[in-house]
Amino acid sequence: MELILLSLPIGNPADLTQRGKEHLEKGGLYLSEDTRVFLDFLRRNSLPIDGKEIRSFHEHKQNELDKYIEMIKESGGATIVSDAGSPVVSDPAFPLIRACLNEEIEIKSIPGVSAPTVALELSGLPPIPFHFHGFVAREKGKIKEFLESASQQSGTHLFFESPHRVKTTLEIISEVLPESEVAIGRELTKSFESIHRFKAGEYHSHADQIVEKGEFTVAFHVEKQSGVNNSKITKLAQECLDRKAHPKSVSKLLSAILGEDQKALYKRLSKED
C-alpha cells in the first residue's frame, strides 16, 4: 500500500512527464488540492476521469487525517496532487505523508517541474546552498525579520510572493539587503515568463519593468559573512573592549553581525580582554 506524490506542470502542460501521464491513465483514489482544477487538467489533457475517485485534500482538511488514512487503506493506496507543481512544496501533503508513515504506508514520488528549482536555474545566482521559504509573511515588520534572519544564512534564498505584494517586498529587500543580488521569476514556464536580475539597492531603476500580474518566485543571494578572525572586525572589537565595553555585550553584537555562536565569541573576547 502506498501514497504516491505526483507533480503536475506549473504552467506548461507539455512538462507533464511520461511517467506522470502513464500513472494518470490509471484509476483509483486521487486526493486533490482543488478537485475542479484537477478535473479541468484531466479534461484538457485528454486523460480519463472514469475509474477515478477524486476527493479534495487541502490545508483546511489537515485536522481530518484519520479519515483520509482510512480512505487510503480502504482503497489500497492513493495518489495526491496539488493544483500545480509538487504536492509537498508550499502545498498541503506533508501532514498526510507523516500520518501515512506512522501507519507504515509507503511513500512514492512521481516527480516533475517545481517552481523553486526553475527559479534557481534561471536566477544566475549560486545554487549551493539554497534555502526555500515558501510564502513569506504579509506584514512589513515580519518581512524585515525574515530578511534579517536570512542574512545570517549564506546562500541563495527563494520564496513565493503574490503580484499584489511583490513590489512592496522588493522595496523592503532593497532597504534591508541593498548589496544582495536579486532575481525575480514571473509566470515560470508559461508563455509570458520573465526574469529580472539586479542588485537589491538598484531596485528602483528596475521597478517599472516588473508587471504585477501572475505568480512570482523571488530569489536573493547572501554572501558568506566574514569570520571573527577578520582583522578589521577584531580591531573594532578590541577598541570596544579598551573603552570598557563588556565582552558579553560585544559578543552579542558580533554574533548578530557574523551569525556565529555568541558563547564562543564571548570566550575568545574574554581571553583577549
Our measurement of the distance from residue 73's CA atom to the centroid of its chain's CA atoms, rounded to an integer in Å, reads: 31
Are the C-beta atoms of 3 and 69 separated by less than 8 Å? no
Sequence-distant (6+) residues with CB within 8 A of 242 are: none
Terminal-residue alpha carbon distance, the chain: 64
Instruction: Give pLDDT tens digits along the chain (273 positions).
Output: 999 999 999 999 999 999 999 999 999 999 999 999 999 999 999 999 999 999 999 877 778 899 999 999 999 999 999 999 999 987 789 999 999 999 999 999 999 999 999 999 999 999 999 999 999 998 999 999 999 999 889 999 999 999 999 999 999 999 999 999 999 999 999 999 999 999 999 999 999 999 999 999 999 999 865 544 455 566 666 777 676 777 887 787 777 776 667 787 787 777 665
CATH fold label, 115-222: 3.30.950
Measured distance CA(202)–CA(133) in Å, rounded: 24
Task: Please state which architecture CATH assigns to domain 2-110.
Answer: 3-Layer(aba) Sandwich (3.40)
The b-or-e profile of 36-74 (16+ CB within 10 A means b, else e) is: eebeebbeeeebeeeebebbebeeebeeebeebbebbee
Task: Look at the alpha carbons of 170, 171, 177, 180 in this order and tell me if their dihedral is positive or negative.
Answer: positive
